[in-house]
Structure 1
Amino acid sequence: MIIKNGKVLVDSEFSLRDVVIKDSKICGYNLDGLMDNQVIDAEGMYVLPGFIDVHTHGGNGIDTNLADKEELNKLSEFFATKGVTGYLPTILTDTHERTCEIVEMVGNTIKEQKEGSKILGIHMEGPFLSHEFKGAMPDDLIVDCSLEKLMEYEVRSNNNIKTITVAAENTGVQELIRYAVAKGIIVSLGHSGATYEDCMMCIEEGANRITHTFNGMRQLHQHQPSILGAALESDVYCEAICDGLHLHPGIVRLMIKTKGIDRVIGITDSVMAAGLPDGKYKLGVNDIVVINGDARLVHGDSRAGSTLTMDKALKNIMEFTRLPLEESIKMLTINPAKMLKIDRNKGSLDIDKDADIVIMDKDMNVIYTIVEGKIVYNNNLID
């Protein structure tokens, strides 16, 4: 495949060049001697790395806790329409038995997946969290850290647990972090009211990310810095839900100024209502209602994820920060790839990396999504 005439983002700069794809990889930028290839004319368009969403509970009527393999594949197809080339289905805290069933289903889907955005692994949001800062997590299903349970999740998922969110004050958390890090599982801190000291201790043990920073956690206080103090001071990655509801634009700017843009990851935390009208929906075991695009628990005062999509997240980040596209897009591409330790193959358009590409028009609408060299979404009405 050849992508011609586009404004291609390489090394944080745009240049007019062609992109040559062979055997799922980007193999060069020179068309000399190439003939009889599939050609995409991207004149006037941006050729960008595909988006990576490391925290999503669903979209288009599909919930990751409730989905079967067919529905999960449909979710992958929906995400492809939003420029997503890779994502982590995020499992809400559920019963141990049901969690085992879910991770097994996702693991089997990963083995057989052919269409849409690629499932890169599983993000487990719980069940080892805080009761006080549970947010939309079902309180009665939050439990103490258990290596035995985590090991069972690993086995049932065919070793596809990529990340797990834990609360720093949860009983047994340090032992679990040590085990997870040794197994290559990325540990994130979230849904936590822990002290600054406990959070820094978990970071020293290897926790490397903060789940939906500023949301579902004790807030910053000059005498009790808590998880936010640890997040902003240390080198961990910080997730940010840039929907304009979870974070004020000034907080997004503050986070970037404090952390540096290379340590902030844009996520959706989307629920099954993403892409759909207001109404009543599910989030795992919870009943939720969406009013004016804002998802909340039916019973309670907590937000319940978002209706954000990744293409809209990019537009919001650019609007909130006034940063150019070549800077803003890092939060959705190379940053999550580095956090997941897959940046050797994904996250940018360097030669020999996977051809995970989104092509957007001048108004930042998704026109093509390409996953490992295969077109999985085409919105070009001319073709």
Structure 2
Amino acid sequence: MGKAYKKIINGRIITPNRVIVDGQLLLSEGKIVEVSDGNIDAPNSEIIDAKGSYVAPGFIDMHVHGGGGADFMDGSIDAFLTAAKTHVRYGTTALLPTILTSTKEQIIQSLALYEQAAARAIQGSRFLGVHIEGPYFAMKQRGAQDPRYIRDPDPAEYMEILASSSSIKRWSIAPERAGAIAFGRMLRERNILPSIAHTDALYADVLKAFDNGYTLVTHLYSAMSGVTRRNAYRYGGVIESAYLLDDMDVEIIADGKHLPPELLQLVYKIKGADRTALITDAMRAAAMPEGPSVLGNIADGMAVLVEDGVAKLPDRTAFAGSIATADRLVRTMVAGAGIPLVEAVRMITATPARILGVDHHVGVLANGKDADVVLFNDDIEIRLTLVNGDIVYKHETYYGRNYFC
């Protein structure tokens, strides 16, 4: 038997350089075979009519804690699967489950559960590895991270964690903590990305960290130092350092709550789409009704309040995580900050793919890449999501219950 093909027609295809109006996309065996601005001759293909929707690479969320009522630290395989099934409905075809500050034992358990979940056939976003956020942070910049577990990097501890799993892809750390520079250097030797986060570092600290492998800033502006005055003298903080270091990548929570439009515009103006990744930083309340929720493990995590489209500490003194989905990030950048659509899409596709080192197979619509594809309308509302060429979500009111049967 010959190859089976899917052909997407009548779409506005977003490529790295342009939008192809009324373009066509041919998929087969989980790969993109052809991208064209004319008809693709592929008889007997399964036809998917985009109906004028945009056709984009699948969204990549490189920092997410959960969704759909589940958190990656809940201690169950089902939590991983539930979050993956939730976020795929909003265009996320690949994500990096994020583990919060906690005990060594909880971190190791979560890594083991991740590997069991990743081995299953998932009708949702695919997993790209694990992001550990903490516990080596500055106490004053902990945000909603549990203060009970914040500490300096301990080689005996982190070597045990690293030995327990080969799935760790990035680790967020405050670089000014004792031992953090050596830790970052060792992570780079293992092809794990160290990232600057929850930190009071000054420019000199950041520069030293950058020279030792810290090439990403975790959720820029959130839980980090800006211009600081010490003994009457001013010093640049992490925010200024991120702007000064041209080769430093940043990620931002573009939910319309954590950063106002003017700061989204400033990040884009200085860092550009090629150095800025959009992240949800979503916790379990993503795609759930507002009200009381829990950040981290459902049994002993931190109580939070979800209102006004964001999670807050119960006393409302600080945010405690995002409830965003990937479509909301793109919508906020375009409609709220005035960023061109193609650039906003790049920030949640090609840029995170490069940062994570997976751009050889995902992140753009091009021949030979994985067939991770998302269709959305002018309001960035998701109509269809394909992972590895398989339709894993369709908007029934748009396509109908039996459209592809």
Indicate the TM-score class for this superposition, using the shorter chain for normalisation: over 0.9
Could you say which residue in structure 1 is the equivalent of 2:138? 130
- Distance in structure 2 (CA, Å) of the matches to 1:93 and 1:346: 29
1:280 to 282, 288, 292: 292
| Cα 1:98–1:44 shift into 2, 3 Å | same
Distance, in Å, in 2 between the alignment partners of 1:294 and 1:338 is 28
Q: How many residues align?
A: 382
Contact 1:333 1:348 in 2 (8 A): yes
Is 2:239 the partner of 1:228? yes
Out of 259, 262, 268, the position equivalent to 1:256 is 268
Question: 1:267–1:310: 8 Å Cα contact kept in structure 2?
Answer: yes
Tell me what 2:176 maps to.
169
Offset from partner CA, 1:94-131 (integer Å, 9 cap, x none) = 11111110111012211224321001111110011111
Indicate yes or no: 2:387 matched with 1:381.
no
For 1:162 and 1:101, the matched residues in 2 are separated by 17
The one-letter code matched in structure 2 to 1:281 is S
Deviations 1:46-102 (A, max 9, x none): 100111111111111111111511221121111110000000111110111111101
User: Which amino acid in the other structure matches residue 386 of structure 2?
Assistant: I
Pairwise CA distance, 1:141: 0.1
Decide whether aligned partners of structure 1 residues 8 and 32 sit closer, same or farther in structure 2, where only a CA change above 3 A counts.
closer
Question: How do 1:1-383 and structure 2 match up within 5 A?
Answer: 1-15=6-20, 16-29=22-35, 32-157=40-165, 159-221=166-228, 223-234=234-245, 235-284=247-296, 285-298=301-314, 301-379=317-395, 380-382=398-400, 383=403
- After the TM superposition, which segments of 4 or more aligned residues of structure 1 sit over 4 Å from their partners? 30-33
Q: Give the Cα separation in 1 of the matches to 2:90 and 2:314.
A: 28
Partner of 2:3: none
Q: Does the residue aligned with 1:376 lie in a helix, a strand or coil? A: strand
TM-score, normalised via structure 1 length:
0.96
Q: Secondary structure at the match of 1:251?
A: helix
In 2, Cα distance between equivalents of 1:103 and 1:332: 25
Aligned-residue identity in percent = 31
Q: Structure 1 unaligned segments of length 5 or more: list them.
A: none
Aligned mates of 1:314, 1:59 — CA distance in 2: 18
Listed as ranges, the gaps of 5+ residues in structure 2 are: 1-5
For residues 298 and 338 of structure 1, the distance between their equivalents in structure 2, rounded to whole angstroms, comes to 37
Supply the RMSD in Å over aligned alpha carbons.
1.6
Q: Distance in 1 between matches of 2:370 and 2:157?
A: 34
* Equivalent residue letter for 1:328: A
Contact kept, 8 Å, 2:30 with 2:390, in 1: the verdict is yes
1:8, CA displacement in angstroms?
A: 0.9
CA distance in structure 1 between the aligned counterparts of 2:373 and 2:244, rounded to whole angstroms: 33
Q: For the residues of structure 2 that align with 1:94 and 1:282, how far apart are their CA atoms?
A: 14
Cα deviation for residue 299 of structure 1 reads: 5.9
Q: Which moved more, 1:360-369 or 1:346-355?
A: 360-369
Deviation at 1:377, TM superposition (A): 0.5
| Aligned CA distance change for structure 1 residues 141 and 299 (closer, same or farther; 3 Å) | farther
1:316 maps to a residue whose letter is T
Secondary structure, aligned partner of 2:363? coil
Measure, in 1, the Cα distance between the counterparts of 2:75 and 2:283: 12
Report if aligned partners of 2:265, 2:339 keep a CA contact under 8 Å in 1. Answer: no
Shift of 1:212: 0.8
The structural deviation recorded for 1:32 is: 4.8
**Letter in structure 2 aligned against 1:370:** L
Change (3 A) 1:59 1:296: same
Is the deviation greater in 66-75 or in 232-241? 66-75
8 Å contact kept, 1:50–1:357: yes
Taking structure 1 as reference, are residues 39 and 150 closer, same or farther at Cα in structure 2, changes over 3 Å only? farther
Matched residue SS, 1:132: helix
Cα deviation, residue 324, structure 1: 2.2
* Amino acid corresponding to residue 222 of structure 2 in structure 1: N
TM (normalized to structure 2)? 0.91
Given that residues 26 and 40 in structure 2 are in contact (C-alpha distance below 8 angstroms), is that contact kept between their aligned partners in structure 1? no
